[in-house]
Chain A
Amino acid sequence: GAGVSQTPSNKVTEKGKYVELRCDPISGHTALYWYRQSLGQGPEFLIYFQGTGAADDSGLPNDRFFAVRPEGSVSTLKIQRTERGDSAVYLCASSKQGASTDTQYFGPGTRLTVL
Chain B
Amino acid sequence: GNSVTQMEGPVTLSEEAFLTINCTYTATGYPSLFWYVQYPGEGLQLLLKATKADDKGSNKGFEATYRKETTSFHLEKGSVQVSDSAVYFCALSRETSGSRLTFGEGTQLTVNP
Contact = CB atoms under 8 A, between A and B. Distances in A.
Interface of A: 31, 33, 35, 40-45, 48, 55-56, 59, 91, 93, 95, 98-109
- Counting from the closest, the 10 A-B pairs by CB-CB distance are A42-B103, A56-B98, A106-B44, A100-B93, A45-B100, A100-B99, A100-B95, A108-B43, A101-B51, A101-B32
A110 to B, nearest CB: 11
Given A35-B101, A41-B105, A100 B31 contact: yes
B44 A43 contact: yes
A56 B106 CA distance: 25
Q: How large is the interface on B (under 10, 10 to 19, 20 to 34, 35 or more residues)?
A: 20 to 34
Interface string B20-34: 000000000001101
B89 interface: yes
B49 interface: yes
21 contacts: A31-B99, A33-B100, A35-B101, A41-B106, A42-B103, A42-B104, A43-B89, A48-B99, A48-B100, A56-B100, A91-B43, A100-B94, A100-B99, A101-B32, A101-B93, A102-B99, A103-B34, A105-B46, A106-B36, A106-B43, A106-B45
B81 interface: no
A102 B31 CA distance: 12
Contacts of A42: 4, 89, 91, 103-106
Interface string B76-94: 0000000000000101011
B8 to A, nearest CB: 12
A109 B98 contact: no
Given A41-B105, A45-B102, A106-B43, 15 more contacts: A33-B101, A40-B105, A42-B89, A42-B91, A42-B103, A42-B105, A43-B101, A44-B103, A45-B100, A56-B98, A91-B43, A99-B95, A100-B95, A100-B97, A106-B44
Nearest to A109: B43
Contacts of B91: 42
Residue of B4, B101, B104 with highest tally of chain A CB at under 10 A: B101
Nearest to A91: B44
